[in-house]
Amino acid sequence: MTQLDSLKQFTTVVADTGDFKQLGVFLPTDATTNPSLILKAVQKPDYAPLLAEAVAKYKGRPLDEVCDRLIVRFGCEILSIVPGRVSTEVDARLSFDTAATVARGKRLIEMYASEGIAKERILIKVASTWEGIQAAAQLEQAGIRTNLTLLFSFAQAVACGQAKVQLISPFVGRIYDWYKKTAGAAWDEAAMAGAKDPGVVSVAQIYNYYKRFGIKTEVMGASFRNVGQIVALAGCDLLTISPDLLALMAASDAPVAQALDAQAAQSMDLAEVKMDEAAFRFALNQDAMATEKLAEGIRGFVTDAIKLDQLLLAA
C-alpha cells in the first residue's frame, strides 16, 4: 500500500489543481481550483484551446462572464474525472461585497446547470472575510454549498461554523511560511515539524473544536509545503494536495497513522465561542499572521484574476 493509499483510509483526498489531465493518475475524490491554478493551466499548450473556445463562444459578452464561463468549463472537465465535487472560486475582487458575492455564486451555479451539472457537485469558493462568510451563509440558505478559503485563524473558523457553511479550507502552508519568515534565523525546522508545525496546530485546533461542539462544517486542510504536514493531519475530513505532493506520496510506502480523531475530540475540555462581527474583526486584528496572510492571499488572487482577464482580452 502506498502512502497515498494509507492516507485515504482516514481522509478524503482532494486534488489541488486546475490541470485536470493529471487527475486520473491519483484518483482523488474531489478537486479544488482557484484563479492562480486556472491561470497556470491555461498558459499550457494543452489548455490553450479551452481559452480560445470560451472567447469565441461568448464574444461580445462582459469580460467577467467570459472568465466565469472559462472557469466553469475547467470545472466540468474536472467533474468528468473525479466522482465527487469541484470547488470553483468567486472573483477575489468581490471579497468585501456580500451582495455581489452572492450574485456571482448563484450565476456560477446557473452556468454549471446549463452544462448539466447538479449544484450538489459544486462548492462555491469564497474568501473568509466577514463579508464573504455572510455571503456564504446566504448561499447555503439558498441550497448552494460553499467552501470558505483563505482561512488562517480560529476566529474565521468559528464564524464559518456559525454560518453553517459546507466546508472550510484552512491554509497550513501559508501559516507555516509566516511563522518561519518571522522567526528568521531562530527558526528550528525539526522542532516545528509534524504535529508542532504552526499550520498543523491551527487545523487541529479547528477540527477538534468543530467535532467537540457538533459543528457539521467539513474541515479541509490546504496549502501544504511538505508531506510531513499532510501526514500530521491524517484523519482530517479532507485534505487538498498539489499534484507534486500527491506524486511523492504515491511513490512512497511509508506508513500513515491517524492523527486526528473525531471521537476523541468529543470528550475534550474546550470552551464554546460565539463570534459576532465586532468580535470577529477584533480577533482578526489581534492576529497579525491571519490579517497579513488574508490580505496577501486576496491580493494574489486579484493579481492572477487580472492576468486571466488580460489573456482573454488578448485571445
Is the confidence at residue 218, as pLDDT, over 90?
yes
Contact 149, 125 (CB under 8 A): yes
Could you report the per-residue pLDDT of 118-155, keeping only the tens digit for each? Answer: 999 999 999 999 999 999 999 999 999 999 999 999 99
Residue written as cell 482530517? 236
- 3-state secondary structure string across 247-297: HHHHCCCCCCCCCCCHHHHCCCCCCCCCCCHHHHHHHHHHCHHHHHHHHHH
Predicted pLDDT of residue 184: 98
| Helices then strands, each counted (H, E), the chain | 15, 8
Predicted pLDDT of residue 35: 82
Predicted pLDDT of residue 68: 96
The pTM of this model reads 0.96
Taking the CB of residue 134, how many other CB atoms lie within 10 A of it? 18
Return the SS3 of 2.
coil
Taking the CB of residue 296, how many other CB atoms lie within 10 A of it? 15
Percent of the chain's residues with pLDDT above 90 = 94
Residue 197 DSSP symbol: S
Which residues are annotated as catalytic? Answer: 125
CA distance 71 to 59: 16
With CA atoms as reference, report the closest residue to 284 among 94, 90, 89, 150: 150
3-314 sits in which CATH class? alpha beta
Cβ burial of 140 (10 Å; 0-12, 13-18, 19+) is middle
* Every domain of the chain and the residues it spans: 3-314
CA distance 106 to 92: 16
With CA atoms as reference, report the closest residue to 68 among 314, 305, 297, 298: 305
Q: How confident is the model at residue 80 (pLDDT cuts 50, 70, 90)?
A: very high
As given in the structure block, the three cell numbers for residue 272 are 464554546
CA distances to 89, 96, 138 from 36, in Å: 10, 19, 26
Is the confidence at residue 21, as pLDDT, over 90?
no
Which residues touch 7 (CB under 8 Å, ≥6 apart)? 13, 230, 231, 234, 239, 249, 256
Predicted pLDDT of residue 214: 98
User: Helices 288-314 and 35-42 sit at what angle, rounded to 10 degrees?
Assistant: 30
